[in-house]
């Protein structure tokens, strides 16, 4: 009998399910739903919402697909792991019914609330205890609901992150995790518990916050109702949950101090692990509890996030004619433009406020356009060089914090499928890039294997993880790419001056 593990990844664009064979460490089938990207509703400027029941709909479809495709028999599925888009807020009443659409990660309505809390609580408390300013994270979004929707707030029984909601739908149990509480900025790192000062300042009822469990742990079992809807056998345990960025790092076996992971989907990230609670004095990058954190052996993840990443590449594709050009054709065309894109510069911050810009809405900008010189190839390359420059801006903040950034791991997917992007990334940051055949759903499945004890340790969980390619930087390209970055940063500074 096979030993199978199901990983579920709740993104903002799609829901993916992956079925992993625990004996070989290989994914045997995976499927993302829907075929087109899920809708993000924006009822007002700066808002971003999704219906949690939409996530559940696609969880049901993706689960049924992979289970049927693999002809899974009774007793073969051993555990379920869940990864999810970070920082979202889900509210349910005492009957576990959703009260309002989820306020998701890229929603910026609560920025001013977080800034006021930072002033009220003071940086001498926030930075050492929270390792962040309260910012636009989940706690601030909850305060927005309390202030602006008091009648609805009076009906709250529990607050959750997106992954907690899906676990609740599967098991009927409302739980969260320490890493989840830290990503919502509810967690006091010095007290190793919920921050009394944050919930006091925000007027949050402590009873709304679910019990926290370790990322690897038994977190409930699939109910009969959930089984009827998903096709998953009754009693299969949910045994892992983590936000998408800690989970993406985990998927790449980034678990030890000094190890780094990067992603470049709708948003772009660099995530580094450390064993001391580092923080940026300006809170432009964020520190959370990592998936393998314990009180006895602390583990923290420092997260750099650029919201305007793959979304800019997607916008360029649509601009050039959806269905008339694909990403491979775009990358080939962009490769024919010179390094530096002939002086054309893209500032990619067009997807809400940017944390590395201290929660400012800088916006996206195309600069230096010469109508007699520039064409599609320059625009494509400028967009990708601009995205990497934004990541580099954050990368250098992490270096200034004392992180040693030499080798970075990534899944060979999304923007890392582009040769322009890869070459720019390794030379602008002077790092070795390792590309793996994995994704967040596979990582969640491996985490479930640890949670149920099917794998005796983390190393065993990563048998079957395949290194596809290693890209080494060439020193002769350091100077031209540093010139690209310096020009980009100068242009950014000019924009910031104009906006003041």
pLDDT, tens digit, 9 for 90 and up, residues 394-442? 999 999 998 888 899 999 999 999 999 999 999 999 999 999 999 999 9
Calpha distance 175→172 (Å, rounded)? 10
In this prediction, residue 256 carries a pLDDT of 92
Predicted confidence band of residue 361 (pLDDT cuts 50, 70, 90): confident
- What's the mean pLDDT in 378-404? 95
Calpha distance 204→141 (Å, rounded)? 11
Torsion of CA 269, 272, 278, 284, to 10 degrees: -10
What is the percentage of the chain residues whose pLDDT exceeds 70?
100
Calpha distance 384→317 (Å, rounded)? 12
Predicted confidence band of residue 99 (pLDDT cuts 50, 70, 90): very high
In this prediction, residue 500 carries a pLDDT of 61
Three-state secondary structure call for residue 2: coil
Phi, psi of 188 (to 5 degrees): -100, 110
Calpha distance 213→293 (Å, rounded)? 12
> Which segments of 139-282 are extended strands (E)?
158-160, 175-177, 187-188, 193-194, 211-213, 238-243, 260-264, 268-274
In this prediction, residue 37 carries a pLDDT of 85
Exposed/middle/buried for 157, CB within 10 Å: 0-12, 13-18, 19+? middle
What is the percentage of the chain residues whose pLDDT exceeds 90?
89
Predicted confidence band of residue 351 (pLDDT cuts 50, 70, 90): confident
Mean pLDDT of the chain: 95
Query: Could you tell me the sign of the dihedral formed by the alpha carbons of 250, 253, 255, 260, in that order?
Result: negative
Calpha distance 84→106 (Å, rounded)? 14
pLDDT at 211 over 70: yes
DSSP-derived secondary structure for 34-46 = -SSPPP-B-SSTT
- What's the mean pLDDT in 170-182? 97
């Amino acid at each position: 009998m096979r030993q199978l593990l199901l990983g579920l990844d709740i993104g903002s664009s799609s829901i993916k399910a992956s079925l992993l064979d625990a004996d070989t460490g290989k994914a045997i089938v995976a499927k993302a739903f829907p075929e087109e990207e899920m809708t993000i509703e924006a009822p007002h400027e700066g808002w971003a919402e999704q219906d949690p029941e939409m996530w559940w709909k696609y969880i049901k479809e993706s689960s049924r697909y992979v289970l049927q495709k693999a002809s899974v028999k009774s007793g073969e599925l051993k555990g379920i792991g869940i990864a999810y888009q970070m920082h979202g807020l889900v509210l349910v009443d005492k009957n576990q019914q959703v009260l309002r659409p989820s306020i998701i990660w890229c929603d910026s309505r609560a920025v001013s609330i977080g800034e006021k809390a930072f002033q009220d609580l003071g940086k001498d408390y926030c930075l050492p205890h929270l390792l962040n300013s309260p910012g636009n994270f989940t706690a601030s979004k909850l305060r927005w609901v309390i202030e602006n929707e008091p009648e609805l707030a009076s009906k709250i029984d529990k607050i959750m992150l997106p992954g907690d909601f899906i676990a609740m739908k599967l098991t009927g149990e409302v739980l969260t995790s320490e890493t989840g509480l830290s990503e919502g900025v509810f967690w006091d790192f010095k007290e190793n518990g919920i921050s009394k000062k944050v919930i006091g300042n925000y007027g949050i009822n402590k009873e709304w916050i679910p019990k926290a469990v370790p990322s690897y742990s038994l977190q409930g079992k699939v109910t009969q109702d959930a089984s009827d809807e998903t096709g998953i056998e009754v009693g299969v345990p949910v045994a892992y949950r983590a936000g998408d960025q800690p989970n993406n790092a985990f998927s790449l076996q980034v678990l030890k101090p000094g190890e780094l992971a990067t992603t470049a989907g709708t948003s772009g990230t660099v995530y580094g692990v450390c064993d001391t609670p580092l923080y940026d004095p300006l809170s432009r990058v964020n520190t959370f509890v990592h998936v393998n954190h314990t009180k006895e052996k602390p583990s923290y993840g420092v997260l750099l996030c650029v919201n305007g990443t793959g979304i800019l590449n997607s916008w360029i594709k649509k601009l050039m004619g959806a269905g008339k050009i694909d990403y491979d054709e775009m990358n080939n065309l962009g490769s024919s433009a010179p390094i530096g894109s002939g002086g054309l510069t893209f500032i990619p911050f067009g997807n809400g406020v940017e944390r590395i810009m201290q929660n400012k809405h800088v916006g996206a900008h195309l600069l230096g356009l010469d109508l007699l010189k520039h064409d599609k190839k320059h625009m494509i390359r400028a967009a990708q060089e601009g995205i990497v420059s934004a990541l580099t801006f954050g990368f250098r903040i992490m270096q200034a914090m004392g992180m040693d950034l030499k080798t970075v791991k990534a899944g060979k997917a999304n923007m890392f499928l582009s040769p322009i992007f890869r070459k720019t990334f390794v030379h602008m940051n002077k790092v070795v890039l390792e590309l793996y055949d994995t994704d967040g759903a596979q990582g969640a499945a491996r985490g479930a294997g640890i949670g149920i004890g099917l794998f005796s340790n983390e190393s065993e969980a990563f048998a079957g993880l395949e290194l596809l390619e290693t890209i080494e930087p060439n020193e002769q390209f350091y100077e031209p790419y540093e010139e690209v970055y310096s020009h980009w940063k100068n242009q950014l500074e000019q924009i910031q001056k104009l906006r003041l």
